[in-house]
């Protein structure tokens, strides 16, 4: 049976085995998918070992996405642009391809939820690994504007500069003014139950707000957005399922139906 896995550190919390098992059942694919805890210094060794023993593909999560980028023999354009890899796939010639399906997953989830991106003014908060992967795919949707704000402005500028023609802007939080159609929280602040220091009046009833994180109930950022009068809020659970569907397609050539898997995963997460 073809073997797949997700590698990370920590990894116990990962929901990817459920998602891929449900995709496999739904599409009649026969495969095994497990989670593997990789020690901080053992990524290359463990991943080489996995493929040497016949493994077909890996998902890669925190903190190894940059290492997976360096590990891959060949890269997709979107992985190169992101500077990070979340999916590795063994190819017929024995080489390992690195892809990044995070941004495509986010865009797919936004479109499924009927949040159009074309012609919209988009603000992305944060400039870490999570944000690097989503800027290219967001830009492909032809927003009116795309701005990255970060506590450390230099990091936002470094990401923006990778895109030609000034298509992506960079800003501090203090400089931000309102007027955005969509605000995406890509900071890890919600993990510590914190908020980026955003100016009052940034969000309004017309703003749609998305957090790349998810958990039981709304994140700190989504709770704050609701207090600001925002009506359209979403966490990143749909993105998680969509990025997995992109990886599944890359490995198996079959596109799973994501809606029932999102529903089932939501029930699982809420059950704790």
Active site residues: 65
Q: Is 188 in the site for ligand ATR (CB under 6 A)?
A: yes
Q: Applying CB under 6 A, which part among 67-75, 127-135, 227-235, 259-267 lies near ligand ATR?
A: 127-135
Q: Is 6 in the site for ligand ATR (CB under 6 A)?
A: no
What's the first-to-final CA gap in the chain, in angstroms?
A: 31
Among residues 27 and 228, whose Cβ is nearest to ligand ATR?
Answer: 228
Min dist. Cβ of residue 159 to ligand ATR (A): 10
Min dist. Cβ of residue 175 to ligand ATR (A): 14
Q: Applying CB under 6 A, which part among 14-22, 94-102, 120-128, 176-184 lies near ligand ATR?
A: 120-128
Please pick, from the candidates 194, 231, 257, 263, the single residue that binds ligand ATR as defined by CB under 6 A: 194
Q: Is 172 in the site for ligand ATR (CB under 6 A)?
A: no
Per-position x/- string for 231-270, each x denoting binding to ligand ATR as judged by CB under 6 A, each - no binding: ----------------------------------------
């Amino acid at each position: 049976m073809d073997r797949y896995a997700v590698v990370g550190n920590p990894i116990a919390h990962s929901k990817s085995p459920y998602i891929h098992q449900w995709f496999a059942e739904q599409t009649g694919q026969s495969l095994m998918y497990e989670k593997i805890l990789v020690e901080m210094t053992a990524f290359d060794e463990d991943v080489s070992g996995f493929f040497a023993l016949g493994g077909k593909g890996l998902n890669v999560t925190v903190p190894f996405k940059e290492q997976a980028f360096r590990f891959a023999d060949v890269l997709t354009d979107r992985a190169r642009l992101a500077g990070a890899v979340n999916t590795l796939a063994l190819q017929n010639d024995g080489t390992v391809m690195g892809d990044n399906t995070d941004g495509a997953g986010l865009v797919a989830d936004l479109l499924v939820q009927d949040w159009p991106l074309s012609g919209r003014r988009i603000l992305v908060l944060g400039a870490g690994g999570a944000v690097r992967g989503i800027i290219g795919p967001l830009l492909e949707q032809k927003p009116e504007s795309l701005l990255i704000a970060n506590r450390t402005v230099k990091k936002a500028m470094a990401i923006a500069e990778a895109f030609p023609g000034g298509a992506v802007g960079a800003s501090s939080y203090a400089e931000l003014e309102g007027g955005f159609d969509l605000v995406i929280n890509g900071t890890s602040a919600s993990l510590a139950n914190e908020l980026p220091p955003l100016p009052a009046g940034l969000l309004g009833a017309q703003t749609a707000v998305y957090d790349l994180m998810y958990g039981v109930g709304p994140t700190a950022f989504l709770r704050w957005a609701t207090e600001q009068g925002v009506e359209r809020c979403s966490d990143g659970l749909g993105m998680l399922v969509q990025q997995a569907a992109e990886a599944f397609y890359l490995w198996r050539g079959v596109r799973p139906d994501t809606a029932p898997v999102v529903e089932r995963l939501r029930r699982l997460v809420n059950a704790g």
